Amino acid sequence: MGITIHRIAEESRTSIATVSKVLNNREGVSEQIRLKVLQTAERLGYFPYIKARESGLFRQKEKYIAEIFGHLHPLLLHKLKLGISNIVNNTKYYEVTHFLTNFEEKNINKVKLFINNLMRDNDMIGVIISFVKISDKIIQDLIDSKLYTVLINIKSDVASSIIIDNVKASFTATEYLIKTGCKKIGLIVSDDFSISVWQDRVTGYKEALKEYSINFNPNLIEYEATFEPNQIKLATRTLVEKNKDLDGIVYASDWQAFAGLQYLREQNIKVPDEISIIGFDNLEFDELIQPSLTSVDQPVEEMGQIATNLLIEMIKKKRLVKRNIILKSDLVIRDSTKKIKK
């Protein structure tokens, strides 16, 4: 059952009439009450309000493209959103954007509720889902409800998807450390393997070790899924203490690498002289920190553009398309790693 204005009134401890006035932007409500009602509608995921908020006003007889984003670094999100919006802004469609919080991503019922609202809304014509843990069952439900669907950085057997080859990207990062002379390379990665990205990065790391006849040791992997700086530092500390001759670390994200670099600096461990590190994402701050961070570049803006163009193509042709597009990633070499000896 969807969220109603009765539920919003109950949760915000106001009347149904007051909630109606707020959601329809009418006068006669104090700013304090208005804010309370809007925050409640947002928290409960009241879809008509989210749509009105994103588009400014309800536009009768117009069609919307919904964009659902999982929890990812704001700089990465900005690039991805830019790629999508640059295409949508040149069409007759309007955007409705929803950012899942950490709590919502972990609460499958919250995700299902939002998806159900999408499927019931006759103004919705398509949806782009990015970096979200979501099952093929839910994706199939979207498709069955006649919503054209494209996924970004999500593997699926039922819908079109735009991804990078995370196995190859992780292999390349690990291989580079090996070629610079690293003998004992650790990996810090999320253990949420329901999201294929992390599992693929573990697989690529292991394949590189095998390719170069380096024995895999489970002690060389630390799992860290909170992305909180103190927890990342703790994971780095554990990795270093368990492996005294550690000389390289691959971090599955730049944010993790940044916190790890801070810990190594605090311990007077020289990067890259003692330990080389590589991240993923190639965020803007990678060039600004000291030493600058070697990182795998994810072409997220391009991913957003390709996904949106594919969605628009389906809408125009009124035909579902299942196409899996794998984009190339590049390793950007900076000062946190040694150079390959000629």
Q: Which domains does the chain have, with CATH numbers?
A: 1-44 (1.10.260.40), 166-297 (3.40.50.2300)
Predicted local confidence at residue 342, as pLDDT: 64
More confident residue, 72 or 85: 85
Predicted local confidence at residue 334, as pLDDT: 98
Q: How do strand 324-327 and strand 330-332 relate by DSSP bridges?
A: unpaired
- pLDDT at residue 166 greater than cutoff 70: yes
Bridge partners of 325?
162
Q: What is the mean pLDDT of residues 234-257?
A: 96
pLDDT band for 47, please (50, 70, 90 cuts): low
Which segments within the chain are labelled E, that is strand? 64-69, 94-99, 124-130, 148-152, 160-164, 185-189, 221-223, 248-251, 276-281, 294-297, 324-327, 330-332
Least confident stretch, 60-74, 208-222, 235-249, 308-322: 60-74
Predicted local confidence at residue 217, as pLDDT: 96
Find where tokens 């950012």 sit.
99
CA dist 267 → 162, 299, 323 (Å): 40, 34, 48
- pLDDT at residue 114 greater than cutoff 80: no
Q: What share of the chain in percent tops pLDDT 70? A: 89
Least confident stretch, 20-24, 252-256, 337-341: 20-24
Q: What is the mean pLDDT of residues 283-301?
A: 95
CB 255 within 8 A of CB 231: no
- Torsion sign over Cα 12, 13, 14, 20: positive
The span from the CA of 2 to the CA of 15, in Å, is 19
User: What is this structure's pTM?
Assistant: 0.80
Q: Count the neighbouring beta carbons within 10 Å of the beta carbon of residue 38.
A: 18
pLDDT band for 330, please (50, 70, 90 cuts): very high
